[in-house]
Structure 1
Amino acid sequence: MRVEFESELWIWDARKADTWTFVSLPADVSEEIRERAGGLSRGFGSLRVRATLGGSTWTTSVFPDSGRGAFVLPVKKAVRAAESVAAGDTARVTVELIDLL
């Protein structure tokens, strides 16, 4: 399964000294992922993906976020720097689920 979407980068504060930057997958895409995964997940309900933003591609996981009702994708600092994006920017992202046929 491969999807392309636009989403705003946002920050989640895990602790005062630690922050993470994410994009949220669209709700309809998240629902389709839940259906296709059929309970297959790793720690914290995560699913492995290959993500692309601009010219950067990396392997990571998407995580369910019950507050947003969607899966969220972490966008690491090296990718944000390479693509000149920051929290508040909207980016076009491609996500491909690795473990689902």
Structure 2
Amino acid sequence: MDVVFAGHVIEWRGPSPFYFVPVPEEQSADIREVAAMATYGWGVIPVEARIGGITFATSLFPRDGGYLLPVRNAVRKPQGLSTGDEVTVEMAVRL
């Protein structure tokens, strides 16, 4: 399943700060339809994502009925991305 969306980078300031892009509701609903086939536990969904020129493997985190796409520093820093920046995400759910 392929998904394309735009979203803003957010920062979670927990014990270990991390950056995410929230998946919009429409795309989250589509992902929920295949979640049972894709998840490997805890509700996380394995994906391959692309932001700018960088492709990376990660897992979506379930949150408030939707999903958060983690954005590692190895993806964020080379592109100069910070909190509030809008990005376009191309993503494939790994079934």
TM-score computed with the length of structure 1 as normaliser? 0.86
Contact 2:38 2:94 (C-alpha < 8 Å) held by counterparts: no
Structure 1 unaligned regions, length at least 5: none
Question: 2:90 is matched with which residue: 94, 97, 100?
Answer: 94
Amino acid at match of 1:52: R
Contact 2:38 2:46 (C-alpha < 8 Å) held by counterparts: no
Structure 2 unaligned regions, length at least 5: none
Do residues 23 (structure 1) and 40 (structure 2) align?
Answer: no
The 3 A distance-change label for structure 1 pair 11 and 26 is same
The two structures, once aligned, show a CA RMSD in angstroms of: 1.3
Q: Which runs of 4+ in 1 moved over 3 A?
A: none
> Which residue of the partner structure matches residue 41 of structure 1?
39
Question: 1:59 is matched with which residue: 50, 57, 62?
Answer: 57
TM-score computed with the length of structure 2 as normaliser? 0.91
Contact 1:23 1:72 (C-alpha < 8 Å) held by counterparts: yes
* Alignment length (residue pairs): 95
Quote the Cα distance in structure 2 between the aligned partners of 1:44 and 1:38: 11
